[in-house]
Amino acid sequence: MTIATPDIARLAASPDEVLARLFTSMNVDGVYGRTGAYEDVVDGLGRYIGTLRPKGAEVFRFPPVVSRALIEKSGYLKSFPHLLGCVCALGADPKRVTDAVARYEAGGTWADSAEPSELVLAPAACYPIYPIAAKRGAISDTLLFDVASDCFRREPSKDIDRLQSFRMREFVAIGAPVEISVFRDQWMARAPEIAGDLGLNHSIDAASDPFFGREGQMVGRFQVANALKFEMLIPVRSPESATACMSFNCHKDHFGLTWGMNTVDGEPAHTACVAFGVDRLAVALFARHGVEVGGWPKAVRGKLGV
Ligand code: ATP
Ligand code: ZN
Ligand code: MG
């Protein structure tokens, strides 16, 4: 279901220009060093998103790694095993370390000797918040959070809008079904305001997550049929094919059941998250308004404070 249609607007900078001027190659697809000019805009987006923070939301910033157990229990492994990155290490065993380094120095590989640790790379910013909220006991008023982390997804690509390492900021709500569904819908209704503030063309469309395998495709169809996920699409690489820069997700009782989070009436809590793809929004801004921030519309610079 398309709610709004993007008008085909000119993009001021091509993906190659954005790449050349704002990123620097690190010789791995989807992993880039970022220039000061780019980071100034990322900081501006951080401040701007802060002005949108729901009243009463508690702030947490999470590291780029989370416990493997948390991701396993959350169901990520079942749904997106192909995207997950695991931290492996040689550890402290002197023999293992010496053998591995010697093998590398003899022209072989050391990495085979590394063992999976208790850590995985965070695939989204919101996963750690559910067990934290679960410890608070039965929920009477909706719990609101503002969370962020560096995220990793194993989807190497040469496109500037599909990174392996990128930043995500999310507003999360946990509470009774009706309030949670209203939270998600109200944020979707604010998409035109957000896109307008940033001077970006947008459309909203129903979406599904890239669940793994045949069974996963069915879950994806269920998501669309039940309107569980919507995306804000913004032209980044070409005016015609837009990129998901924000998503509006309703998880129903999935995390409530997983973490034993209940509302005061004893029912499983529902959860929703509104995700800002910070790097995608930054790239979209440069693509739309040009690689020189000095040339951007005054109103947009004002909103970002850049
Ligand atoms: P897509 O359909 O483009 O793969 P997604 O559905 O996987 O996106 P979400 O899981 O909803 O995305 O993640 C929240 C937001 O994080 C997305 O709307 C997007 O802005 C950003 N994001 C997701 N994957 C990437 C990526 N590989 N590179 C950069 N940003 C990303
Ligand atoms: Zn989320
Ligand atoms: Mg994806």
Which atom of ligand 1 is nearest to 278's Cα?
20
Are 148 and 223 contained in the same domain? yes
Atom 5 (ligand 1) nearest CA: 209
Are 97 and 70 contained in the same domain? no
pLDDT tens by residue, 215-270: 888 888 888 888 899 999 999 998 888 999 999 999 999 999 999 999 999 999 99
pLDDT tens by residue, 273-290: 999 999 999 999 999 999
Atom 25 (ligand 1) nearest CA: 162
CA of 263 to the centre of ligand 2 (A): 20
Are 167 and 75 contained in the same domain? yes
Q: Would the CA dihedral through 176, 178, 180, 183 be positive or negative?
A: negative
Q: What lines the ligand 1 site, CB under 6 Å? A: 124, 153, 155, 162-163, 166, 168, 209, 231, 244-247, 275, 277, 279-280
Are 8 and 153 contained in the same domain? yes
CA of 103 to the centre of ligand 3 (A): 37
Are 187 and 279 contained in the same domain? yes
| C-alpha torsion angle, residues 37, 301, 58, 251 (rounded to 10) | -90
DSSP-assigned states of every residue in 203-228: EEEE-----SHHHHHHHHHHHHHTT-
Are 252 and 282 contained in the same domain? yes
Which atom of ligand 1 is nearest to 231's Cα?
18
Range in 64-78, 140-154, 184-198, 203-217 with the lowest mean pLDDT: 203-217
Residue 25's domain comprises: 2-85+123-304
Asked if residue 143 lies in contact with residue 176, where contact means CB atoms within 8 angstroms, the answer is no
Are 61 and 201 contained in the same domain? yes
CA of 230 to the centre of ligand 3 (A): 13
Are 167 and 134 contained in the same domain? yes
CA dist list (Å): 96 to 88, 100, 106, 248: 13, 6, 15, 46
Are 104 and 216 contained in the same domain? no
Q: Would the CA dihedral through 39, 44, 61, 270 be positive or negative?
A: negative
Longest Cα separation, the chain: 65
For 273, the 3-state DSSP assignment is: strand
Are 150 and 105 contained in the same domain? no
CA of 273 to the centre of ligand 3 (A): 15
Are 31 and 180 contained in the same domain? yes
Q: Is the pLDDT of residue 125 over 50?
A: yes
Are 107 and 78 contained in the same domain? no
Atom 23 (ligand 1) nearest CA: 277
Average pLDDT over residues 148-155: 98
Task: Place 7 in a pLDDT band, splitting at 50, 70 and 90.
Answer: very low
CATH number of residue 228's parent domain: 3.30.930.10
Average pLDDT over residues 44-71: 98
Which atom of ligand 1 is nearest to 208's Cα?
6
